[in-house]
Structure formats: C-alpha cells, structure tokens
Amino acid sequence: QLQLQESGPGLVKPSETLSLTCTVSGGSISSSSYSWGWIRQPPGKGLEWIGSIYYSGSTYYSPSLKSRVTISVDTSKNQFSLKLSSVTAADTAVYYCARQSGTWGSDYWGQGTLVTVSS
Amino acid sequence: QSALTQPRSVSGSPGQSVTISCTGTSSDVGGYNYVSWYQQHPGKAPKLMIYDVNKRPSGVPDRFSGSKSGNTASLTISGLQAEDEADYYCCSFAGSYTFVIFGGGTKLTVL
C-alpha cells in the first residue's frame, strides 16, 4: 500500500523559506505514469494546488505561487520536496503531498502537516 | 484564475440523494474530462471519490457518481448515509498555464 508522509518545521518566521519533504513508501517515485504534488489548505478554508513534479524533474507550478515555489525530487531517497520563499501569515496552512495521475486526480495523500508562519 | 464555484452547503436525509454542482468555464471544467471529486472529513486528508468526471477508484461505493454537462460538473450521492457527512471539493485540469484548480468546497450535512 502506497504511503506518503510529510515532514518539516511546523513554525516558520515571516520572510523566511518554508521547506517540506514528502517521503514515499510502498512504491517507487520513479514512475512515468504519475506526478507528485503539493496541495495546501489554510485553516477553515479550501484546497489550493501548489505544484507537481515528475521523477524526471519536470515541474508544474500554480501561476499565483510560481515566483516563490521550487519543487524538487530525490529518486534515490524516494522523496520530493517543497520550498516556498518569502512566506507571510497568508501561507499558514496544512500542507499535503499527494500522488497525481496523468489526468491530475490525486489518489494517494499524506496526512498533512500544519505550517504556521509567525515571528 | 478563480476557483470553481460550488454551493457552500447542501443537506439531505438518510436514504435520500443529493447533488453537488461545480461550475467552471470552457477553460477548465468544460474544456477537459479531467474533473475529480474529493471527500474530506474534519481533521483528515482529502479522499479521491471520482476522477475523470465519472470514474470511481477501487473501494468507493457505487452510491457516488459523477457527471458533466458543459461547464458544470456534478457529484451525486444516492442512499445518503451518516458517514457521508463531510466537505466535498471538485477539482479540474485547467490547461497548461494554470494546470489544476479546486472548487471552494461544499459542506454536506446528513439530517
């Protein structure tokens, strides 16, 4: 059974860079059939897609976050990572990693990790 | 690009059917058969219920069905059960610039 697990600091200071890693177990991240994505959910609000990456390194980002987002993949560790720079309180959210099919449905999700931006 | 439009809330009694709509544009919902639906219980990760407009992943009850007409997609839940009470989100591919867009979410209450 495929499992995804987010990890990283739960508290980030304003203007700094948020960094999270998603570890994939029970399957290989090196599949051309799937991309690996990040989705976030501010407290009490809806879901927002951040971006996705294929194992080859091809990336796709939300236009509204593109200038601040970097997603990378480490196939040797079966992990992919998110970096979001110049964070503000508006970036406070639960961050999920997920596997996405070729038609962009997300069939496996991590449990989510709350990241709070505060000094 | 704005979020897809969903009703804030819907409700139904056990055994009844409810339909949740998801309205977009010809650039997203209307332009591609790549609409998915997610169920989210409080404090939990979203769960994929429908993909590619009307396909059900393994393990999802056939009480859940999806459809699309023009720029509006719909999720229908028949034979409502108490455990169906949750938030539901639609999602669509929106082209090679925006890529993925979500709806604002609908809270389903089982009366």
Mean pLDDT, chain B, rounded, equals 96
Q: Which of A50, A59, A104 to mutate to test the interface with B (most CBs of B within 10 A)?
A: A104
pLDDT at B67 over 80: yes
Q: How far is CA A110 from CA A5, A36, A107, in A?
A: 5, 11, 10
DSSP bridge partners of B21: B74
- pLDDT tens for A81-98 read 999 999 999 999 999 999
Cα B94 from Cα A39, distance rounded (Å): 16
Q: Length of chain B in residues, anyone?
A: 111
DSSP B3: P
Cα A96 from Cα A47, distance rounded (Å): 10
Cβ of residue B105 closer than 8 Å to a chain A Cβ? yes
Residues of chain A falling short of pLDDT 70: none
Provide mean pLDDT across the span B23-31: 96
Provide mean pLDDT across the span B78-82: 97
Structure confidence at residue A31 (pLDDT):
87
Provide mean pLDDT across the span B5-12: 98
Provide mean pLDDT across the span B7-18: 97
Provide mean pLDDT across the span B12-31: 97
> Could you identify the residue written with the tokens 């609409």?
B35
- Quickly state the pLDDT bin for B64 (edges 50, 70, 90): very high
Percentage of residues of chain B with pLDDT beyond 90: 95
Choose the closest CB to A46 out of B48, B89, B99: B89
Comparing alpha-carbon positions, the chain A residue that sits nearest to B37 is A105
- Quickly state the pLDDT bin for B1 (edges 50, 70, 90): low
3-state secondary structure of B81: coil
Distance from CA of B5 to the nearest CA of A (A): 12
Q: Which helix (H) or strand (E) holds B96?
A: helix B95-98
- pLDDT tens for B41-53 read 999 999 999 999 9
More confident residue, B108 or B2: B108
- Token representation of residue B40: 């989210």
Strand B106-110 relative to strand B9-12: parallel, antiparallel, unpaired?
A: parallel
- pLDDT tens for A29-45 read 998 899 999 999 999 99
- Token representation of residue B58: 């393994």
